[in-house]
Chains A and B, each alone.
Chain A
Amino acid sequence: MRAVRGVSFEVRRGEKVGIVGESGSGKSALALSILRLIAPPGEVVGGQVWLNDRDLMRLREREMAHVRGSEIALIFQDPMTALDPVMTIGAQIVESIRKHRPDVSRKEARDRAIELLRDVEVPLAERRIDDYPHQLSGGMRQRVVIAIALANDPPLLIADEPTTALDVTTQAQVLDVLERAVEERGAAVILITHNLGIVADFCDSVKVMYAGRLVEQATPTDLFRSPIHPYSEALLRSIPDPARLEQGPLPTIPGAPPSLANLPAGCAFEPRCPLGRGVAICKNTAPPVIPIGQGVAECHFAEERWADNETMRKEAAADDRS
């Protein structure tokens, strides 16, 4: 069974890319396969991941270990389980620093760890560094996880649902911390989330993932104003919006994502699609990748919908200018 299929995209230096989708759409598997950390019995059966001019999938394990943490770092989704419970947080940061720069002395690495904790706004960092994870709250732990990821100033960060496990206030704080740290360092970020609100605030471009494929890629502005893929549109509609609260219950997407073990021949979204359900071409032919505006969409109706939205977009653009 394939969790991720034919996904292809680029991230430029300093760019912040959001990948959104429902639970089970293959987002986390994508993150782990970039780092080649899919746990057995899972495996990456093919594909390329180019970092600058190297294909990560072809590196030796030893070379890949060097890439992890120093060139690509991971911010894990659940801070409560992301840290080794029997090691102090300081030791866990120092471990990462010294793995990639063995010449750094213990003392220096420790000072650097305190600095990192300050960067992610952990109060009393020089005291906190000797705490164990269980002594910290969820928000603090997630800051530690971010500090570990930043330890070697990696040019690319993969943040897998970095705030999902936190309460709303803490979410905002942690995101602020992450945004500032990333901007100071000019690092690129792949932000994996199911939360479109975060994407709107944080990202330069958005990829919508469905059943292991990227079904739409666009700028956040385009996507929010005029989603092309019916799935994107449905996702947007299911965001709670105080302004629409009176209009009755929040719309949901009927049905569930298809079983990845048993995908339909045509468009994977066809059985749930308000436009394409029952349409022959949607049922039988997988939609091609169609370039639309600054992005792409995999939908038989993409061009039609883009044209329909043209007027709307122009008006909005005019509004923006005025």
Chain B
Amino acid sequence: MISFLRMRLAGALATIFGASLISFILLRVLPGDPVRLIAGPLASEQALEGVRRQLGIDLPLPVQYARYIGGFVTGDWGFSFTAGGPVREVFASRIAATAELALFAFVIAFTAALILALLATYRRNRIIDGFVRVISTFGLGTPQFWLAMILLIVFFEQLNLFPGPSGRLDASTLAPPRVTGLLTVDSLLAGRWDAFSQAIEHLILPALSLGFVPFAFLVRLLRANLLEMSREPFIVVVRSKGIGYWATHTRHVLPNAFLPTLTASGLILAELLTGSVLVEKVFAWPGIGALVVDSILRQDYAVVQSFILLTAVLYVGVSFLVDMLYGVIDPRTRNPVSQRG
């Protein structure tokens, strides 16, 4: 177990090293003036000179790489000229908005997927199962930003049920004092019900847009795993004890089906990360995703570069954690096999 952990950790670190090389090559070595890329098109000659010195363009590539990675590790992620501040600070001020949205989207996606997958596979309900299969097929082919637009047209422009693309609160509402940065939590802490309900209203459409693809993915996976597990012989044994269909399904089929689903967490995270870039833009959500799109459009590449490498670190890190978690949750890996019997 320990040696497996060490191997897996070494693998994860090697992968992150490779990823950092790739992002270094992409943004420093490929054709195009890296100084312009990093300083932006509007930078003055002086600023360019500064960037050149900072980057050490004249230095050999390995030295440049070492400085680049050193800067990243020590939190020096460069300067965003569009936001007018160090990239790290800009990210820090926006991470809560993205996290709240992603969390909300994930909770919606996961809950809906779990319920629908259980209903679809419980006694092989054909109608719900058909619905689940259709919706998940379409879900995997839906561009999130397009869905976001459709939801806005229907629920904001036509029905006026939810607020439009106006950020996290109405413009006239004062934000609650910042504690966690998550508006729903902060407004509750401050006892501000008006801000809380508004924060929820503003979250729903973006979260639905962002959560739909992960939902489609999860419901498919859960459905397949549930069906597979419900055919396992031990299920017959459970039923022969007199346990009802539903209890068998939730107490025995689901826990067994859930374990393999856990391994998809990395993919879900990737989907949420990419999705936030696309969805936040549509809803003018003041998070990192929208910042990245704006930075792409304005060629503020210090932001983009940091985002890309951070994404890779997060993605690899989560896959690693999930593997570890799997080992803790699954009794077959947690307890070594003994041959005392």
Contact = CB atoms under 8 A, between A and B. Distances in A.
B237 A82 contact: yes
Interface stretch (B70-78, B79-87, B171-179, B327-335): B327-335
A140 interface: yes
Nearest to A68: B242
A86 B255 contact: yes
Nearest to B245: A61
Contacts of B236: 32, 37, 39, 74, 76
A81 B242 contact: no
Interface stretch (B20-28, B227-235, B297-305): B227-235
A68 B243 CA distance: 8
Given A76-B237, A96-B241, 20 more contacts: A32-B236, A39-B236, A40-B124, A62-B244, A65-B242, A68-B240, A74-B236, A74-B237, A76-B233, A81-B232, A82-B234, A84-B238, A92-B238, A95-B251, A96-B242, A134-B337, A135-B341, A139-B341, A148-B241, A149-B240
A145 interface: yes
Given A87-B252, A134-B337, A137-B339, A99 B234 contact: no
A201 to B, nearest CB: 24
Interface in B186-234: 231-234
A82 B233 contact: yes
A37 B338 contact: no
B64 interface: no
A170 B293 CA distance: 67
Contact of B331 (A40, A86, A92, A140): A86
9 contacts: A32-B236, A37-B236, A68-B241, A76-B237, A81-B233, A86-B255, A86-B330, A123-B341, A132-B332
Contacts of A78: 233
A95 B241 contact: yes
B243 A132 contact: no
A35 B330 contact: no
B263 interface: no
A85 interface: yes
Interface string B249-278: 001100110010000000000000000000
Contacts of A99: 241-243
A70 interface: yes
A160 to B, nearest CB: 10
A134 B243 CA distance: 23
Nearest to B236: A37
B287 to A, nearest CB: 38
Contact of B243 (A39, A95, A135): A95
B242 to A, nearest CB: 3
B239 interface: yes
B242 A69 contact: yes
A252 B144 CA distance: 65
B243 A76 contact: no
Contacts of A37: 236, 239-240
B332 A69 contact: no
B338 A148 contact: no
Contacts of A66: 242
Interface string A93-108: 0011001100000000
Contacts of A32: 236
B25 to A, nearest CB: 45
Contact of B338 (A83, A87, A96, A135): A135
A281 interface: no
A67 interface: yes
A35 B237 CA distance: 11
Interface string A262-306: 000000000000000000000000000000000000000000000
A140 B256 CA distance: 22
Contacts of B232: 81
Contacts of B237: 74, 76, 82-83, 145, 148
A56 interface: no
A181 B289 CA distance: 67
Nearest to A83: B234
Contacts of B340: 124
Contacts of A218: none
A200 to B, nearest CB: 27
B341 A140 contact: yes
A49 B288 CA distance: 67
A128 B341 CA distance: 9
A84 B234 contact: yes
Interface in A112-154: 122-124, 128, 131-132, 134-137, 139-140, 145, 148-149, 151
Interface string A26-68: 0000001001010110000000000000000000011001111
Interface in A153-192: none
Contacts of B245: 61
A228 interface: no
Contacts of A149: 240
Nearest to A72: B240
A17 interface: no
B341 A137 contact: yes
